[in-house]
Amino acid sequence: MDIKHLRDVADELFTKKAPLNTLHQEIADQFYPERADFTTKRSWGTDFASNLMSSYPVQARRSLGNQFGTMLRPTAKSWFHLKRKFMEKDDFEVTAQLQQFQEIMRRAMYEPTSQFLRATKEGDHDFAAFGQCAISVELNGQANGMLYRCWHLRDMAWQEDEEGKIGFKVRKAKITALTMKRTFGDKCHQKINEACEKSPFTEFNCYHFVCDSEMYDKGTSFPRMSIWYDADHEHLMTETPIRTQFYVIPRWQTVSGSQYSYSPATVCALPDARLLQAMTFTLLEAGEKATSPPILATQDAVRSDVALYAGGITWIDNEYDERLGEALRPLTQDFRGFNYGVAMNQDTRAMLHNAFFLDALKMPERGPEMTAYEVGQRVQEYIRNALPIFEPMEMEYNARLCEETFDILLHNGGFGPPQAWPQALRGQEVDFAFESPLHDAIEEQKGQKFQQAQQLIGSAIALDPACAFVPKAEVALRDALLGIGVPAAWINNADYVAKAKEAAQQQAAAQQQLAAMEQASNAAKNLGQSGLMSPQQATQ
């Protein structure tokens, strides 16, 4: 497939995606007004929320988006850990090396120039509102650090391969002539060079394609190709073989037959958000009528405008007979349904709160009067409620970001020469484990189980001392320590423990032998003093 066919595929994908942009525009209008430019173009000074009567739907989306980063990627601690793939446990030498890799990755990700925090913050709110986001992961222009950027879903399109994975990806980009010249140099079209001299900030339409090498066959051994195309001048600028996916596109809830996903939060909340805006508008109108009711004025009796402001005077014809009725009188209205409307408004807010999983994200409270069983049951309930939120985020979002970052650092010497790694780690695939309130709750159960097992074993030993040989105490203790978050560097490896055990046994045997010799010497001395035998005989 050549570049023109790739352009045709991209145009077809964007054409088919147009109805989805309309849906995203409606969702953004209700929940994410800062992003509401899928089908309209706004100026920088546009009032984002001018169409809204209540900010509660926007606040609900904001709370969920903020919770993603706070709970799944806390900056105060390492939220991801490396381990060998398909291995239940690593030896401590390998674990220590993987923890070193982890620290290198963390420094690269949180370097201020990488823009990781900015990209993931924007991605979190796209994920909460639209159920997907698009983040590019690459080396920066100087190739001395990572670079992360979140892109507008309006400008992204993709399709799935035969296995349901995202294969072909394309992004539309409006790039100024000056930026194109600085980025692609002499590979730009001649008209770009001319534009740099006359109007360097003129924007041109470009495409960025990322596709499998088989789709764009150029005889490379790399799995994918990154292609930049000047659409305005139909000019191929660069085609670069790459190992990574380049774009990380996490998807929350997918449906069969579509490569695009949806946010289960906004799918449920969209009708409630519309209802809340309509009810709020009605309640505001009713409140205004209650405080400033409409005024009925008698025709030809009022000689001036009706002054409804504080201190206002309305002039009435002095010949008007008040026995015919008041010249000015408020319109009688029934506000008995106002409180019912307020109750409906509060109920709709509660529905929105639940739709955005804000009730499920709250950790269970542990009262001092609770038993260990009650605490365990509440933790289990929290895990069941939180799994639909955390699982897609960890596997589709955090894991993809970490994998892309690891691959880029690996193939660019970020982890040092492989010859310096432990032999058991060379040529092995790595996997990632993540920390979150959910995983913390799961891992903390190991410590609780260890304490429960200790109580049971103690009760069993009181009945039969042989039960002390049933548990693998060292294995259980290691699992419990790692489960509660003790770093591997704090724990001695199995070889050290085995040698320490052997040394302790030898020392105990030596002490026992010395004690026996001392006891025998004391006995001989006592016999000699008693006169039953001579000291020489006692020591023979």
Give the pTM: 0.77
Dump pLDDT digits (tens) for 353-381.
Answer: 999 988 887 766 666 677 666 666 666 67
Can you give the pLDDT at residue 24? 97
Dump pLDDT digits (tens) for 200-258.
Answer: 999 999 999 999 988 887 778 899 999 999 999 999 999 999 999 999 999 999 999 89
Least trusted range by pLDDT, from 186-195, 240-249, 429-438: 429-438
Which helix (DSSP H) or strand (DSSP E) does residue 316 occupy? none
Strands (E) across 440-516 are located at: none
Residue 167 — φ and ψ, nearest 5°? -105, -80
Q: Is the pLDDT higher at 83 or at 1?
A: 83
Residues 6+ apart with CB under 8 A from 361: 64, 67, 71, 386, 389
Q: Is the pLDDT higher at 198 or at 465?
A: 198
Residues 6+ apart with CB under 8 A from 385: 360
Least trusted range by pLDDT, from 11-25, 31-45, 189-203, 332-346: 332-346
Q: Is the pLDDT higher at 63 or at 368?
A: 63
Can you give the pLDDT at residue 457? 78
Reply yes or no on whether the pLDDT at 441 is more than 70. Answer: no
Confidence of residue 435 (pLDDT cuts 50, 70, 90): confident
Can you give the pLDDT at residue 314? 65
Residue 48 — φ and ψ, nearest 5°? -60, -45
Q: Is 243 exposed, middle or buried (0-12, 13-18, 19+ CB in 10 A)?
A: middle
Judge contact between 140 and 150, C-beta under 8 A: no
Can you give the pLDDT at residue 362? 74
Write down the mean pLDDT value for the chain. 84
DSSP code for 241? E
Can you give the pLDDT at residue 376? 63
Can you give the pLDDT at residue 337? 73
Can you give the pLDDT at residue 136? 97
Residues 6+ apart with CB under 8 A from 168: 9, 158, 159, 209, 210, 211, 212, 215
Could you write out the DSSP letters of every residue in 455-471? HHHHHHHHH-GGGGGSS
Reply yes or no on whether the pLDDT at 303 is more than 70. Answer: no
DSSP code for 296? E
Q: Is the pLDDT higher at 86 or at 72?
A: 72
Residues 6+ apart with CB under 8 A from 497: 474
Can you give the pLDDT at residue 469? 72
- Name the percent of the chain lying above pLDDT 90: 45
Can you give the pLDDT at residue 529? 63
Confidence of residue 474 (pLDDT cuts 50, 70, 90): confident
Can you give the pLDDT at residue 373? 62
Confidence of residue 418 (pLDDT cuts 50, 70, 90): confident
- The pair of three-digit structure tokens given for residue 6, joined into one six-digit string: 């790739």
Reply yes or no on whether the pLDDT at 69 is more than 70. Answer: yes
Can you give the pLDDT at residue 328? 66
Provide mean pLDDT across the span 104-109.
Answer: 95
Reply yes or no on whether the pLDDT at 70 is more than 60. Answer: yes
Judge contact between 488 and 95, C-beta under 8 A: yes
Q: What is the rounded CA–CA span in Å between residue 213 and residue 6?
A: 13
- Name the percent of the chain lying above pLDDT 70: 79
Q: Is 219 exposed, middle or buried (0-12, 13-18, 19+ CB in 10 A)?
A: exposed
Q: What is the rounded CA–CA span in Å between residue 111 and residue 158?
A: 30
Provide mean pLDDT across the span 274-296.
Answer: 82
Q: What is the rounded CA–CA span in Å between residue 406 and residue 269?
A: 37
Reply yes or no on whether the pLDDT at 23 is more than 90. Answer: yes
Q: What is the rounded CA–CA span in Å between residue 206 and residue 224?
A: 19
Please tell me which of 46-55, 291-300, 343-352, 495-504 the model is most confident about, judged by mean pLDDT. 343-352
**152 three-state secondary structure:** coil
